[in-house]
Amino acid sequence: MKYGIIDIGTNSMRLLLADFDGKNFNDRTKMIETTRLGRGIDETGKISVESIKKSVETLAKFKKITIEYCCDKIVCIGTAALRCSANKEEFIKIAKEKTGIDVEIISGDTEALLGYKGVTGGIELFDQHALIIDIGGGSTEFIVGNAKNILFRESIDIGALRLTDTFVNSFPENEMEIKNIVDYIQDRIKSVIIKIKSLKIPLILIGIGGTITSVSAINQKLETYSMEKIHSSKVSYEELENQINFIKSMNIGQRRKIVGLQPKRAEIILSGELILKEIMKNIEINEIVISEYDNLEGCVFDKTINKSLKLYNI
């Protein structure tokens, strides 16, 4: 069966085209468009008219692509920006009128679950327990589990675009802006880290989402993005720290020329990397494994695989 999975995120809209036979992907392609749906949403509480227009146009473009791919099923999910916007129903209505697509706004818990299903479908955990983190534009999800059980999952409202909008006024960011970002991250992740540490189990760290795949692409100096080279690649805490120091001295023009970084992500990459650094530092794990299987693949697995997952409330 051919699937078209669309994720309407805070910073970008992504499309997965997948031919899945119930066990394996026979074909799998991803596309991304930077739409900045969540820009200014913390200040106004609403998605702007301009952002709605651009996102609906991108949705229509993606629908056309799914038709050309002969998709049997199209699934469209909305995440952090749509969850917290006061005019989410207006967006859903316009999207339906213009494209015929039903946008399903999912909770942070569901987003975390889909990320877990995607990762465990692409990386064999066996009996290992993993902390899976998904750093998006508007939220960050934390999932602890192994191949069979989820022990913990939580979503918090910090993301690369959200932090940049709130704290950054210039590029490069000044020392006070960076300090304010770091202090805010530490405050927001503190309770989550305590809960995860209370599990008292050894963990490997796995990351998904645009910030984390960009970290790997920059680390590998990929002139052309490759899902195969990103998937299962590893980045150490020291490599991340060196990358942050490299980026934070640059103006926006210089950042757009970084090999491995999509130019449209240049504005928000430092904020996203600071989130990752604080998580790694506080959870005391010195290496992260990057997964190219994420919540998009998770939607495919969720629709086709009946997994028995035992959920624990911490």
Rounded Cα distance between 289 and 46, Å, is 35
Comparing CA positions, the residue from 282, 249, 247, 284 lying closest to residue 268 is: 247
Does the domain made of 2-106 have the CATH classification 1.20.140.10?
A: no
Report yes or no: 305 and 147 within 8 Å, Cβ to Cβ.
Answer: no
- Position 309 scores a pLDDT of 43
Q: Where in the chain is the domain with CATH 3.30.420.150?
A: 109-296
The verdict on pTM exceeding 0.85 is yes
Per-residue pLDDT of the chain (314 residues; tens, 9 = 90+): 999 999 999 999 999 999 999 889 999 999 999 999 999 998 899 999 999 999 999 999 999 999 999 999 999 999 999 999 999 999 999 999 999 999 999 999 999 999 999 999 999 998 899 999 999 999 999 999 999 889 999 999 999 999 999 999 999 999 999 999 999 999 999 999 999 999 999 999 999 999 999 999 999 999 999 999 999 999 999 999 999 999 999 999 999 999 999 999 999 999 999 999 999 999 999 999 999 999 999 999 987 654 444 444 33
- Position 305 scores a pLDDT of 56
- Position 302 scores a pLDDT of 86
**What superfamily would CATH give domain 109-296?**
Exopolyphosphatase. Domain 2 (3.30.420.150)
Q: How many CB atoms lie within 10 A of CB 252?
A: 12
Q: Where in the chain is the domain with CATH 3.30.420.40?
A: 2-106
The amino acid sitting at 249 is S
